[in-house]
A and B are shown apart, each in its own frame.
Chain A
Amino acid sequence: MNQKNKIIIHAENVKKKFGDFYALKGVSMNVHEGEVVVVLGPSGSGKSTFIRTINQLEKHDEGKIIVDGTELNDDIKNLETIRSNVGMVFQQFNLFPHLTVKRNVALAPQKVRGLSVEEAESIAMPLLERVGIPEQADKFPAQLSGGQQQRVAIARALAMQPKIMLFDEPTSALDPEMIKEVLDVMKELAASGMTMIVVTHEMGFAKEAADRFYFFDEGLLVEEGTPEHFFTNPKEDRTKLFLSQIL
């Protein structure tokens, strides 16, 4: 929708090898500020690998990635700064089990941004309210349900006030009845104007919240377009096949 907004992520011919296997065979993509992008594709298509190159959890071997004006390459001195501007939510939540919910959210602002304990916790509590679980603040992650844990993980990523949020199959590890509570938080976030890249198979969410779709297969970006385009008139056979399987 906001094509006039500036490009915040620019990826050009990104390649990634694991041994001899090319997980990404040259992917190019532009994401504009405020856009919500849904990445689709069968497992092993490279979609997770791709979003992990954006905060350099995976180093790309070839190509160019520019995030918010800074190119990601080996010389980069302030990788931590880039990462703190890019929030990430994982399939397995990856909450810190030895810290309370509140400390999970407050830790990074305190240690990375250098805030005091009180300041960091004054950021954490409103975020826990935003994701709907302020009453769990003093519990440990293991005491929470999967859906609650994933909402804490979203709050934790938001605590760094990122410009971009990456979601790597955020609902795939959840029981069906907990998926909605996480998607609701994500929809609210999308509506608030956050730039989001979401790897997901939740087509309901995608239809409602996404501005653009990208379809990956075998390490390549096969097709891109608006949700209408994908739901009504996909061009490629591989896209059609995939969509017919998940819809």
Chain B
Amino acid sequence: MNNMLYQSKTWLIENLFSSKLNIALSTFSIIFAYYFIASFLNFIFISADWKVVDVNLRLLLLGPFPKDAEWRIWVSIFWVTFMSGLSYKHLSTFHLKHLMNLSPLILFILFLIDPIKNIIITLLTLISFILFVMGYNFPYERIPKFSKNSFILFGWAITLPLIVIFLKIFGGVETTKWGGYFLNIMLAWVGIIFGFIVGLILAIGRASSLPAIKYSCTFYIEVIRAAPLVAWLFFAYLVIPDLLPGFFAGKVDIALRVMIVLSAFTAAYIAEIIRGGLQSVPIGQVEASKALGMNAYQTTSLIVLPQAIRAVIPALVSQFIALWKDTTLILAAGLAFRELLGSGKSALAQFEFIGRYNEIYLFIGLMFWIVSFGMSRLSYNFEKDLGLNRED
């Protein structure tokens, strides 16, 4: 024990207090960190009044989503947690450490939201957790038709369409009634999936040797990138309805238009990222593939694209995270419906919570951070997985 103390003392002296300048810097940093952390913790646990979040939780998470249709969201969450459990097992093995890392977050949410008062939410969350565990232990290797990769890919591919249909059919909820955090998630999800698909097509198109395809793809990319996202959202809000033929009038609602704009906008950036990846694949790879008798489609899909996308995963994920946060811009464009940030502003407009900016924005920041960080961890695991298991 004494030895350890002695060692840490030597370490401190060697690394933090070795010279006059180091002593000054270290002292200053320690004092600064102490005051910063102390006042931050003081705010969170003592001076903050989290009632504004507690009371408005439904508004923040779901916006105007009808209460009697909430079960549709819960069923969707169940499906997603089940699929997450499946994929989690594939990308990583369970360590208690993972749960430990999450525990501050879980404790903080429990601190914000009284689990006893919101007993139904607590129970449903527990069910999601059970489904996650079931997904983790799901014996998909017993289903003969699928390999495990294609099983997971197929599952995720049908997830988004399934959820959208499930939310809307049999007297479900119109997209204009979607709101809050849920809306951010849906917008980003749609934007990422369609942005990626269209972006991939554009990138390949731009590399095409046929001038008509090449220049129309280039034209699209340059036009989309020439204007900020907010301008395109105004375009969706004000201009598209006038441009549509009469038949569509009133049928393409604002949510759909925003989804189209987000996808189209993201696609242009994704296309350029993937183009960079395509250029990083040596020409020898194409020659080797051709020399084996593989046709242009096989060469692109089996040899070039896997390597190109692998090379640009970090840039792609950055773009996805940017899109995730850009979903708040639908507020700046003055659109009719409210995502998380807009719902937060509505909450702040309530008489009894006037001035509770810190609580609301901290909460919103936390909610955005959770998904951003999740995406970054996911991509990290995905990269590791590709390094070990790069099969089609």
Residues of A bordering B, CB below 8 Å: 55, 57, 80-81, 83-88, 90, 92, 94-100, 103, 107-108, 111-112, 140, 153, 156-157, 160
Contacts and interface: CB of A to CB of B under 8 A. Distances in A.
Given A108-B292, A111-B302, 7 more contacts: A83-B290, A84-B292, A84-B293, A94-B285, A94-B287, A96-B307, A112-B292
A17 to B, nearest CB: 19
7 contacts: A96-B303, A96-B307, A98-B307, A98-B390, A111-B298, A112-B298, A140-B390
Contact of B285 (A57, A86, A96, A153): A96
Given A84-B293, A111-B294, A57 B391 contact: no
Closest CB pairs A-B (n = 6): A84-B293, A94-B288, A108-B292, A94-B284, A88-B291, A98-B390
A157 B293 CA distance: 10
B101 interface: no
Interface of B: 282, 284-285, 287-295, 298, 302-303, 306-307, 310, 386, 390-391
B288 A98 contact: no
Contacts of B303: 96
A234 to B, nearest CB: 32
Nearest to A156: B292
A100 B294 CA distance: 18
B390 A87 contact: no
Contacts of B391: 99-100, 103
A198 to B, nearest CB: 15
B236 to A, nearest CB: 38
B297 to A, nearest CB: 10
B287 A80 contact: no
B39 to A, nearest CB: 50
A157 B287 CA distance: 12
A160 B390 contact: no
A90 B306 CA distance: 21
Given A92-B284, A96-B303, A140-B390, A81 B292 contact: no
A90 B288 contact: yes
Nearest to B296: A80
A112 B294 contact: yes
A86 B282 CA distance: 22
A81 B89 CA distance: 42
Contacts of B302: 107, 111
B310 A83 contact: no
Most buried by A among B307, B310, B390: B390
Contacts of A112: 292-294, 298
B289 to A, nearest CB: 8
A92 B284 CA distance: 8
B293 A83 contact: yes
Contacts of A80: 293-295
B1 to A, nearest CB: 46
Contacts of A85: 293
B292 A160 contact: yes
Given A57-B291, A83-B290, A96-B303, A90 B284 contact: yes
Nearest to B387: A140
A16 B390 CA distance: 39
Contacts of A92: 282, 284
B306 A98 contact: yes
Contacts of A108: 292-294
B146 to A, nearest CB: 14
B81 to A, nearest CB: 31
Nearest to A58: B287
Contacts of B292: 83-84, 87, 107-108, 112, 156-157, 160
A80 B307 CA distance: 22
B291 A55 contact: yes
Contacts of A95: 288
Contacts of B287: 57, 90, 94
A160 B292 CA distance: 7
A98 B392 CA distance: 10
Contacts of A83: 290-293
Most buried by A among B285, B291, B302: B291
Contacts of A90: 284, 287-288
Nearest to B293: A84
A240 to B, nearest CB: 34
B205 to A, nearest CB: 23
A175 B292 CA distance: 26
Most buried by B among A85, A108, A160: A108
A55 B292 CA distance: 10
Contacts of A88: 288, 291
Contacts of B386: 98
B191 to A, nearest CB: 27
A90 B284 CA distance: 8
A76 to B, nearest CB: 13
B285 A99 contact: no
Nearest to B298: A111
Contacts of A84: 292-293
A140 B293 CA distance: 22
A5 to B, nearest CB: 24
Contacts of A98: 306-307, 310, 386, 390
Contacts of A55: 290-291
Contacts of B282: 92, 94
A228 B287 CA distance: 35
A55 B287 CA distance: 10
B307 A97 contact: yes
Contacts of B307: 96-98
B291 A87 contact: yes
Contacts of A160: 292-293
Nearest to B306: A98
B386 to A, nearest CB: 8
Contacts of B390: 98-100, 140
